[in-house]
Amino acid sequence: MTDPLKLSFDVACSAEHAFAVWTSGIGTWWPRDHTVTGQADRVVLQSGVGGRIYERTSDGVEHDWGEVIVWAPPTQLAYLWHIGQDRTDATEVEIHFVAQGSASTRIEIEHRGWERLGAVGEERRSQNRGGWQTLLPHFEAAVAEGVTQ
């Protein structure tokens, strides 16, 4: 079994704000170089279980990245994740937004399911570890700027 990636960090805002920035505000902070095309005009995370996560290019082409499987604002979000891969190769991302008072939230992320990918699972895990490290500062900056949409 391949161990899940586990990350946690604190942001200076309410859990409600952190959840909103991660979900409805994702298009404001997600870096274009972390998209399938590198040219995404829009990144969308649709609310609710079954919501799509996708990018849309300026010419209207959409690339699916995942699907919401747990929607419990403002405390929990989970989704199948297959950006740039076939849906059958999806891993699972679970995020908890843990209030630490009214102005601080601990973000706890577990990214799992690597063993389902067989021989490439460990390599994808390693790639995603690097991806998370470059992605999360963009989220933290958006939270600090008060961005939600």
Q: What are phi and psi of 34, to 5 degrees?
A: -105, 30
pLDDT at 146: 79
pLDDT at 102: 87
pLDDT at 33: 86
State the DSSP code for 3: P
CATH architecture of residue range(s) 5-34+72-145: 2-Layer Sandwich (3.30)
What's the pLDDT tens digit per position in 98-148? 999 889 999 999 999 999 999 999 999 999 999 999 999 999 999 998 766
> Domain map of the chain by residue range?
5-34+72-145
CB distance 106 to 8 below 8 Å? yes
CA distance 74 to 106: 12
What's the pLDDT tens digit per position in 58-88? 999 999 999 999 999 999 999 999 999 999 9
CA distance 142 to 88: 32
pLDDT at 43: 97
CB distance 98 to 108 below 8 Å? yes
pLDDT at 149: 59
pLDDT at 90: 97
pLDDT at 23: 98
Question: Is the peptide bond prior to 74 cis by the omega test (within 30 degrees of 0)?
Answer: yes
**What's the mean pLDDT in 19-36?**
94
Q: Using CB atoms within 10 A of its CB, is residue 110 exposed (0-12), middle (13-18) or buried (19+)?
A: middle
